[in-house]
Amino acid sequence: MVNNNHQQVLLQLRIDNECWGLIGGSMELGETFEQVAHRELLEETGLKAKNLILINTYSGQDFYYQYPHGDEVYNVVSAFECKVNNGQLIHDQAEATMLQFFSLDDLPKNISPPDRPILEDYIINNKNPSNH
């Protein structure tokens, strides 16, 4: 979950399912969750994370997903938050058509299914900061 100084979250318009999704991806052999977050952020946005804060780890039936090309997965997701103050956004043209910051009150309707529960939790926790 990438935030800016305007309390907005960064989403990418994904090529594979034409939905808006969080920045992230699959773990490579030998990586830690934090290393994955740093690598994926850099690959997909051109930004470098300084401080990662673990939000939650998600798994289970709610994280089953079938990709448009047919692959089926049960994702295990470690969601992190980081703030960015500056830097030029450069989207990975193989994965996304664009990057955009959105207010939590004005998210697009077509959120990628695996990212919906993470965003919903994030919205709830940011409206009730004592839960975070």
Distance CA 72, CA 55 (A): 25
Q: Which residue has the higher pLDDT, 119 or 83?
A: 119
Question: What is the predicted pLDDT for the residue at 67?
Answer: 81
Position 132 pLDDT exceeds 60: no
**Under 8 Å between Cβ of 47 and 41:** yes
Question: What is the predicted pLDDT for the residue at 52?
Answer: 93
**Under 8 Å between Cβ of 128 and 39:** no
pLDDT digits (tens, 9 = 90+) for 97-117: 999 999 999 999 999 988 999
- Nearest CA-CA partner of 14 in 104, 90, 84, 93: 93
Q: Which residue has the higher pLDDT, 98 or 65?
A: 98
pLDDT digits (tens, 9 = 90+) for 7-19: 899 999 999 889 9
What is the rounded average pLDDT for all residues in the chain?
89
* Percent of residues in the chain assigned helix, strand, coil, to nearest 5: 30, 30, 40
Position 76 pLDDT exceeds 70: yes
50, burial (CB in 10 Å: exposed 0-12, middle 13-18, buried 19+): exposed
Spell out the domains of the chain, with CATH numbers in brackets.
Answer: 2-131 (3.90.79.10)
Is pTM beyond 0.75? Reply is yes
Rounded to 5°, angle at Cα 13 from 22 and 23: 20
What are the beta bridge partners of residue 103? Answer: 8
Element (H, E) at 35: helix 33-45
**pLDDT tier, 128 (very low <50, low <70, confident <90, very high otherwise):** low
